[in-house]
Structure 1
Amino acid sequence: MTAECPDASVATQAGEAERPAPSVLAIDATGLMLWPPGKGLAGIPRVESFLVNAALADPDPCVEVVAFRSGDGRFGPLAPYEQDHVAAGEISPHHVTRWPGRRAALSQAFEAVRQYPSGRRETDRHLAKAVTNGRKGIVYQATRLLIRAYRLYRRTRVRLSQLTPPLPVEVERGLVLISHHILTQEDRSAVSGDAGKLAFLCHDIIPALRPDLLGAGTGERRFGSNIEHLVRLGAPAFCASNEVGVTLTDHMRKAGMAAPVVYRFPMPSILHETASRMGATSRIAAAEPFVIYCSTIEVRKNHILLARIWQQALEEGVKLPRLVCAGRWGWMIEPLRAFLKAHPELLQSITFTGLVSDEQLIQYYRSATFGVFPSHIEGWGYGASECLDFGVPVIVSTAPSLIEATGGLMPAIDSNDQAGWYAAIRRMTEDHAWRSSLAERIAKQHRPTPASASWAAIKAGLHASVSRASNA
């Protein structure tokens, strides 16, 4: 039998009063479960994957991984198929849910459908896999079709019958660190306080500060009101940068609210840790010099500035290294696409890779000549700190979080200063001594952050938050 988090008070030494039992600390995997399996993770999904897997690997029986069950308005533990979906490494025996047999597994699958009637076909495939214990074949296909049929029935029933909302579920102890997905949902039930005591991971508050940089129709528009609602409820914020913590506090004060409790945790060097396990952290030679920019291609990331600079270099006969833009295509990029269409020769010196695997990205970092990160605004700027993790000099914008992410070690230029960026990129290309001095600065003053240190800081903050709440 696996260990369980105690639910009664724990006796201390003789003569002392009993102290409260440890509270459950839960990490929400709702957002991560929506990410397609086998796809490369970047940005927020990468951080949430780190959190979920750190919790799954933690032998502490008071640490759990949960997902929000909209059907009954509360967070619940993951089913076996959900664990398989989000797990990226070894799972602690405490968290492993054994296969209960086909009959019980089918019953659990039907229950999952009742809780998530809007689930996708991918979810039904996972459920069928859980029922058949991973075996494929006729039984698997029949089970998948049965589950799908039941899901369609449940959807129809929900539409036809105005089901009354579930009664609030009181969570007597424990704290759930909710995913970014919960913060962007229109349904307030997950952040109402009825779902339990909550904390939130504040990657940034860009949706509230710069809505002009978001695509129309995105759920991020609900982010600001949900954040304010959580702060009013007393939910603490966990921030990877001091800048985000300060910005969040200032934003709430301007909204006439009390400052939130903010816990700072160091951003983990997840990709470098993966590379270390592979024995692939040393520099390697590239077939040709290139500059790396790893980020989603969206208006906020300012790729168009780089396109204009590379076009200027072509017109002036200046030889710049190839620009490699690693990341998926995002939103509000029509001006960039129009610029590229008007200057088709640019695609001979700029490569857009699309979403890449961790292995491919590691190879890019190991062999890049230098990096660039001209984003207008950031909560952290993973691509910039990852450059330093691999010893790659990088030019960043003057966004405070980017300067913080690179420890103030790298040259910083205003994101709208094309002339300044052009001069810096040319110097980084041509001045080998300057580039080497920046690499030496990284080697002397920067160290990748172990994921274990980040998890320890987050866990300590969750414990401190529970303690604050119990003493209030």
Structure 2
Amino acid sequence: MTAERSDTSAVIEGREAARPPRLAIDATGLMLWPPGEGLAGIPRVESFLINAALADPDPCVEVVAFRADEGRFRALAPYEQDHVAAGEISPHHVKRWPGRCTALSQALEAVRQQPWGKRDADRHLARTVTNGRKGIAYQVTRLLIRAYRLYRQALLGLRQEAAPLAAQAEPGLVLISHHILTEEDRSAVSGGAGDLAFLCHDLIPALRPDLLGAGPRETRFGSYLEHLVRSGAPAFCASDEVGATLADHMRKAGVAAPVVYRFPMPSILHANASRAGTTSRIETDEPFVLYCSTIEVRKNHILLARIWQQALDEGVKLPRLVCVGRWGWMIDPLRAYLKAHPRLLERVTFTGLVSDEELIGYYRSASFGVFPSHIEGWGYGASECLDFGVPVIVSTAPSLIEATGGLMPAVDAQDQQGWYKAIRRMAQDHAWRSSLVERIAEKYRPTPAAASWAAIKAGLKESASRPRAER
């Protein structure tokens, strides 16, 4: 009998091993992004991943979000798919709203099975009933669900253990969103939410918290990252520099280096422009220099402000500087400098957030770009310049040099005179600037989004296929 059980177990294990691994992309962070607001940086990359997974016909790929009240990842509800989808969804992944009556019945059944959920669970269930719509119907539904939950709790007794969840297929390996590491959903990392992988955009919160502030999320980032790596989570890095930095950081922390999968950063904006037929050059009457980045202390906008002020003081006419991006954090010194030098705003423009269409227009018409950031994990604004054939001056941050293929001039982020000299030369030496344009055309190609998704999916499949002890 024992031998028969062993044989049966072996057969079952063989069947399990033969099944393709289930892979999931976490959309928790993007679910919290305001609808209609332009995406940049990490949210843009996560949107690409989510939509690549939604469009993938592979039934073993899905998109999930973390349910804090359950302590696990669950597949997206129909309204959540509508929130994050930016293109076609494969029929394998389409979730259709069943209608209010059926959705309400399902929500009440969920409460019956798991009566000890919190108010967040009630809000989520109410949104599934109204298909994400807010208003009176949502408020009434939320109160009804809460009342039913309290009724179920009263029946079971206040000391009753939580009822078991209904059987539902758990996602296999989940590639978690940046939000899980940096915001309130860190419980997904420290709890038993399942097998995880993570995108390591950078280690800036651990390496340079002085450039981000000293809040709780900065001080805890390193410890949660170490917990992920100790648990065997593989890392996905867009640059070799970040992969090497991650391994070095773990070595110093006494943690074995994780398995690192390198993927090429997709040229998302250029792909959008290609589909719209808007990649060709636009000539403008007034030349301008472009810096596309969130305005924060790490991005070093104050260096550029000082350079343009130096040019005004010396009677040197530089092209207008156009800074595209939202205002961020730790920028009081920049605001104070601009207030003390009011003439600067005659030559420097801050646009705030712009649409993708507007941003494409800026790249198509900029004379050249600048990216003097102190530290980066990649530097999207720099590689996007090359995507559109625009030469760019970058800082000597290794990831920026990698992002631009070592093709562009680089100056130390603290070397104001070096930057002043490089910007003046780029503005005035047309032959040099043209040679850089030719260099981009000869040696650089935008990265198709499909190539990035293929590399990430292959890494996830390889990792999920390995025995857990080897991860």
Q: TM-score of the superposition, structure 1-length normalised?
A: 0.88
> 1:25: how far off?
0.4
What is the 5 A alignment of 1:228-377?
228-377=226-375
Change (3 A) 1:410 1:338: same
> 1:469: how far off?
2.8
Letter in 2 for 1:448: P
Letter in 1 for 2:350: F
Q: Is the CA contact (8 Å cut-off) linking 1:9 and 1:19 kept in structure 2?
A: no
Q: Is the CA contact (8 Å cut-off) linking 2:122 and 2:142 kept in structure 1?
A: no
- The alignment partner of 2:197 has SS state of strand
Letter in 2 for 1:31: G
Structure 2 partner of 1:68: 66
> 1:146: how far off?
1.3
Change (3 A) 1:20 1:244: same
Q: Does 1:142 align with 2:136?
A: yes
Distance in 2, Cα, partners of 1:77 & 1:103: 21
Structure 1 partner of 2:381: 383
Structure 2 partner of 1:79: 77
Q: Is the CA contact (8 Å cut-off) linking 2:291 and 2:369 kept in structure 1?
A: yes
Larger Rg: 2
Q: Does 1:455 align with 2:453?
A: yes
Change (3 A) 1:434 1:71: same
Q: Is the CA contact (8 Å cut-off) linking 1:69 and 1:76 kept in structure 2?
A: yes
Deviations 1:138-158 (Å, cap 9, x if unpaired)?
xx7431231454588799999
Letter in 2 for 1:466: A
What is the 5 A alignment of 1:103-118?
103-108=101-106, 117-118=119-120
Change (3 A) 1:86 1:319: same
Q: TM-score of the superposition, structure 2-length normalised?
A: 0.88
Deviations 1:292-334 (Å, cap 9, x if unpaired)?
1001000000000000000000011110111111000000000
Distance in 1, Cα, partners of 2:276 & 2:86: 15
> 1:215: how far off?
2.7
Distance in 1, Cα, partners of 2:24 & 2:306: 46
Deviations 1:4-61 (Å, cap 9, x if unpaired)?
xxxx9999xxxx9995201110000000100001000000000000000000000000
Identical columns (%): 73
Change (3 A) 1:417 1:114: farther
Structure 1 partner of 2:6: none
Deviations 1:63-108 (Å, cap 9, x if unpaired)?
0100011111110000000000000000011110122122122345
Distance in 2, Cα, partners of 1:252 & 1:285: 49
Identify which of 163, 167, 182 aligns with 1:184: 182
Distance in 2, Cα, partners of 1:270 & 1:10: 45
Distance in 1, Cα, partners of 2:235 & 2:135: 44
Unaligned runs of 5+ in 2: 1-8
Letter in 2 for 1:412: A
Structure 2 partner of 1:431: 429
Change (3 A) 1:284 1:236: same
Q: Is the CA contact (8 Å cut-off) linking 1:249 and 1:259 kept in structure 2?
A: yes
Unaligned runs of 5+ in 1: 1-7, 135-139
Structure with a larger share of its residues in helix: 2
Q: Is the CA contact (8 Å cut-off) linking 1:124 and 1:144 kept in structure 2?
A: no
Change (3 A) 1:279 1:73: same
Distance in 2, Cα, partners of 1:291 & 1:449: 24
Structure 2 partner of 1:96: 94
